[in-house]
Amino acid sequence: MMQIIIREHKLRSFSLNSVAAHFLGEQKEDVHHSVITQLQNGDEFTRRRLAVYCLKDAYLPLRLMEKLMCVFNQVEMARVTGVPIAFLFTRGQQIKVASQLYRKARKHDLLIPVERHNQDGGKYEGAVVIEP
């Protein structure tokens, strides 16, 4: 989720609290990380506060995903460009453009030349260095 927001939006801060405040008008529960152990070891009321904190931390990204229509956008981008959804997260823009070029070329019975890389793992034989 964070990866998508960073790539598609220009914000001052990309913390969950900042992003949720910007898009949803909500913020996380105010629990400092140093207090979490004390809340867990406390009574039922402190554990309830911790549970609310954890639930909201899990719920905010889901609400952001729904509000920003991330799943829909990624599925449509994959459909339009002809690449697997995983490529949208792991590869750059070039794979999307190349996929569209290959698709159009195939439609018109054209071939696109492909530059072959060194097949032996990119190893080159170096030169001998002689002392001057």
pTM of the complete model: 0.69
Terminal Cα-to-Cα distance of the chain (whole angstroms): 58
| Domain locations in the chain as residue ranges | 2-68, 80-107
**Do residues 59 and 18 touch, judged by C-beta distance below 8 A?**
no
Neighbours of 26 (CB within 10 A): 13
The C-alpha atoms of residue 38 and residue 96 are separated, in whole angstroms, by: 49
Amino acid at 125: E
Q: Is residue 57 classed exposed, middle or buried when 0-12, 13-18 and 19+ CB atoms within 10 A define those classes?
A: middle
Q: How far is CA 71 from CA 68, 74, 85, 121, in A?
A: 9, 5, 10, 37
In order along its 132 residues, the chain shows pLDDT tens digits of 888 899 889 999 999 999 999 999 999 988 888 999 999 999 999 999 999 999 999 999 999 999 999 999 999 999 999 999 999 888 888 999 999 999 999 999 999 888 876 666 666 677 788 888
Look up residue 61 and give its DSSP letter. Answer: H
